[in-house]
Amino acid sequence: MKRTASLLMLVPLLGATQTLSAALGITLMLGAVLGVFAVCMSPLRERLTGTRALLASLILAATLTSCANIMAQRWLLSWQQTSELYIGLIALHCVVLEYHGAFREPVAVSFKRCALFGALMLVVGGLREIIGYGSLGRGLSEHWQGLGLFPEGLHLFTLVPGAFVLLGLLLAVRQAWTRRNSVIKETHRP
């Protein structure tokens, strides 16, 4: 996948994951719309080329995203109002991923990439909620206030700049982990 499509995925990762419930909602909606888009676009892909295929993917993505947005307004209004900007960008994700050929890959590869991205969104949302609010699970249910871990959090992590800081910390941990494993592998060679 091209670099543009990968960078575009940072928008929901950093912006729509203030809490675990927000991350869960946008992950489910993104997965559902991308899945239905891939299924509906596959027969059109063979028959349309060039500008016609791009126009068809744009119309299909906008339609599916609008339908998902209307369903969210109907059943999850409070979540929909806080995530409305990111819901509108799902159509853009569909078109960009289609243009870069992400849906032409084998289903297992696409599903694995989608599952890893969804897991990353949930981890980032959970960590941002724990660090920012001191609790986990706020907003998952009207009758449950979440699991309180400590009385007060660092509010910066609930904002987008805090998401950049957290992403930088996660990348540093990953780099340290891979370096540590590569050093161990090199020292134990016969």
Q: What is the mean pLDDT of the chain?
A: 83
Residue that wins the pLDDT comparison between 53 and 7? 53
**Domain span at residue 111?**
3-187
For residue 174, with 0-12 CB atoms within 10 Å meaning exposed, 13-18 middle and 19 or more buried, which class applies? exposed
Report, as an integer, the average pLDDT of 48-75.
90
The domain total for the chain is 1
In this structure, which long-range contacts are made by residues 66-73, counting pairs with CB atoms below 8 Å and at least 24 apart in sequence? Answer: 68/29, 68/32, 68/33, 72/25, 72/29
Alpha helices in 48-159 (DSSP H): 50-75, 77-88, 90-99, 107-133
Which tens digit of pLDDT belongs to each residue from 108-161?
Answer: 888 888 898 889 889 988 888 888 888 787 767 666 776 777 777 778 888 888
Supply the pLDDT for residue 186: 55
Please state, in angstroms and rounded to a whole number, the distance separating the CA atoms of residues 184 and 170.
21
Report, as an integer, the average pLDDT of 87-112.
86
Q: Tell me the three state secondary structure of residue 147.
A: strand
Could you tell me how far CA 190 lies from the centroid of its own chain?
Answer: 43
Vertex 155: Cα angle to 152 and 156 (nearest 5)? 145
Supply the pLDDT for residue 188: 55
Reading phi first (left if > 0) and then psi (alpha if -120 to 50, else beta), residue 146 is in left
